[in-house]
Amino acid sequence: MISVGIDENGLGPRLGPLIVTSVVAKTTPTALVRLRNAAKGELSKRLGDSKALISFGDCGLGEAWARAIAERTSGLPCESPAEIVANLALDGSADLHAPCPADHATQCWGFPPRFTADKDLIEQARRDLTWLEERDIDIRSTTCVIVCVGRINEASRGGITRNAIDLSAMERLVLNARACHLEDVEVVCGKVGGMNAYPQYFRHLSRYQHTVVCEGAAKSTYEIESIGRVSWVRDAEAAHPLVALASLVGKCVREWTMGNIVRFYQSHEPSIMPASGYHDPVTSAFVEATAKIRKTLSIVPSCFERTCLATRRGRNQETEGSVTSSSSQEPLKPTL
């Protein structure tokens, strides 16, 4: 059986991309039962809710998993984070760079990071993958959809919410897993906002017949013809190991890509402090410290900060848990 875990990182920050990640494993029916429960014992210290296990500036565990999986699935040593990101990305570099103004594309892509994870941690991740494989959970691939700030802002101007972008990316990863492995898949995704009913908002899965298994606040599950069973589960990364693994890898990719942006501005002013891109005082200071540089370089504002958040802050025009516009109750179809 093919089992898939999908989760997002970076849905609501001020800066940096949204990362949606899938982890695909070949399993047996017995092993699939294990994947419906949180990791236990020592493994739970390395495979669980990413918010509890890694943080900004301390992403070594996510890097260790990303490197171990990339090495195992490609059969080749990974030379740099940029190489891993290129291999993980569902879209090629030409597509990822397409929205970038030519004169400052390096803001997001020109200053790749170096590896920082401890060697012992990487060796442990390799052993953990072997341990999982011995229990019929064979990790086959990891894939990321990377949605940059410019594309998020463009979608927002068209009335498409961040939740709709997130769901669209998840659908693409479901279809990619099915296409790559040529058999029906069982997929668990983290919940999108507070949504309970999903098919009316499908973009990429809308052409497939579906049957509702259940819909509710805790879990929504569908049998989708020619695809398999797809569920959106509340707090999925805390309870489902493949979703947890997707979140850990995605959090690392998110930090790497945000780090590109930080290093770009530090190349112009070394005193600028690193920032996570989330809604915190350090990020606010980063935005202020880079203002003069951005003006001098004519950085397009919508390629730097999520203007959909800045312009709507305090006006409550976008409600978390909804993928409908404030002016209409008709479902929005994401274009991404």
pLDDT at 40 > cutoff 80: no
Residue 334 lies in a domain: no
Residue 309 lies in a domain: no
Residue 310's φ and ψ, nearest 5 degrees, are -65, -40
- Give SS3 for 65: helix
What's the structural domain count of the chain? 1
pTM: 0.88
Residue 254 lies in a domain: yes
CATH of the domain at 203: 3.30.420.10
Quick one: how far is CA 265 from the chain centroid?
A: 24
Calpha distance 193→37 (Å, rounded): 22
Q: Return the minimum-mean-pLDDT range out of 240-244, 269-273, 326-330.
A: 326-330
Residue 83 lies in a domain: yes
Q: What percent of the chain has pLDDT over 70?
A: 87
Residue 293 lies in a domain: no
Domain interval for residue 214: 2-258
Residue pLDDT, tens place only, 246-286: 999 999 999 999 999 999 999 999 999 999 999 999 999 99
Q: What pLDDT sits at residue 319?
A: 32
Biggest CA–CA distance in the chain, Å, is 60
Which residues does 196 contact at the CB level (< 8 Å), separation at least 6? 215, 216, 217, 220
Residue 219 lies in a domain: yes
Which residues does 42 contact at the CB level (< 8 Å), separation at least 6? none
For strands 210-215 and 219-224, give the pairing: antiparallel
Residue 273's φ and ψ, nearest 5 degrees, are -85, 145
